[in-house]
Amino acid sequence: MDSTTKSKAVEASIYYDANYGSFDTELYSEIRREAFGEDIGQNSWLTADEQDRFLSWLELSPGKVLLDVACGAGGPAVRIAAKTGCSVVGIDVHEQAVSTACSLAIQRGLGRRAEFRVVDAAQQLPFSENSFDAITCIDAVNHFSDRPRVIAEWARLLNVGGRLLFTDPITLTGPLTNSEVAVRSSAGVYLFVPHGYDERVISQCGLQLLVSEDVTANMAKVAEARRAARASRTAALRDIEGDQAYDGQQEFLDVAARVAREGRLSRFVYVSKKVS
C-alpha cells in the first residue's frame, strides 16, 4: 500500500479495530447470534434473511464471480459463495479483517472460491474492466467520499448484464443534531447524502436502477439488539476493549438505533444493472 492508502487504513482502524480485534472469539460470536439471529460473520446491519432476499436479485451461480467491496471479516461473502456456488473476491482496508476472512474461507472449505485482499476501495481498484458478474458493498459506501467516482469504478468492473447491489445506511431523511452526526460518523470518512442522491449517481454512471428499497428497519432492530447483547456482557467487553472503546461503541449503537427508529437517518438498498 502507498502512504495515502496507509493513512486511510489507519483512519478506518481507529473504530474498526474494536470490531475486528476479537472477531472470531466465542464471546463476539455469541453477541452476533443474539443481535442478528444468525452469526454469518457480519459487521454491519445485514441479517441472513436479508442477505437471502438480496441474493434473489443478484443471479449468482457456479462459474460467476462476485466482488464484495469493504467485505469486513468476510462472513457475508463466504456465505454467498457457499449458497450460490459462485466465486468471490473480497476487499477491505482493514488488515485484520482480511486475515480473519481468509481463515474463515479455508475453515469452510471455500479456499479455492474465495479470495480476500487488503485494498483501499476509495481508490481505483486493481482489477481490469468487465471482470465481475456482480458487485456488492454492504453498509460501507458511506466511507468513500467521492460517490460518483466510486460507482463509475464499479460500473467499469462489471460485465454487461452484471448487477451492482449496495446498501447506504447514511441517507438523510430527517433532522439530525450535531452530536448525533458526530457519534454516527465516528469511524473514519463518512458521507451523508440526501435520499435520491444515490439513484441519481447510479443513473449518471450509466447503470439501470432495478431496485430501491427502504431497509432501515433492519438497522434499527440490529443496532438495538447489538447494544443490548453487549450491555449484558459489559464486564467482559470492558476488559477486552477498554472503557473508552466500549462506551464509544455503546453510544454509537444507541444513537444508530434511535435515529433509524425515528426515520431520521435511513438505510436503502439499491440494485442496478450494467446494460451496455
By CB under 6 A, name the binding residues for ligand SAM.
8, 12, 16, 42-44, 46, 70-72, 76, 92-94, 97, 120-122, 138-140, 143, 188
Nearer to ligand SAM, 44 or 173 (CB): 44
Nearer to ligand SAM, 188 or 248 (CB): 188
CA 152 to chain centre: 19
What is the C-alpha to C-alpha distance for residues 143 and 158, in angstroms, rounded to an integer? 21
Nearer to ligand SAM, 145 or 203 (CB): 145
Nearer to ligand SAM, 38 or 239 (CB): 38
Min CB(124)–ligand SAM separation in Å: 12
* DSSP for residue 122: T
Min CB(72)–ligand SAM separation in Å: 3
Which residue's Cβ lies closest to ligand SAM?
72
Q: Are the C-beta atoms of 64 and 162 separated by less than 8 Å? A: no
Min CB(83)–ligand SAM separation in Å: 15
Integer Rg of the chain from CA: 18
Q: Are the C-beta atoms of 99 and 71 separated by less than 8 Å? A: no
The residues pairing with 194 across neighbouring beta strands, listed in sequence order, are: 172
Min CB(67)–ligand SAM separation in Å: 12
CA-angle at 169, arms to 208 and 190, nearest 5°: 105
Nearer to ligand SAM, 32 or 274 (CB): 32
Min CB(44)–ligand SAM separation in Å: 3
What is the C-alpha to C-alpha distance for residues 73 and 56, in angstroms, rounded to an integer? 23
Residue given cell 444507541 in the structure block: 254
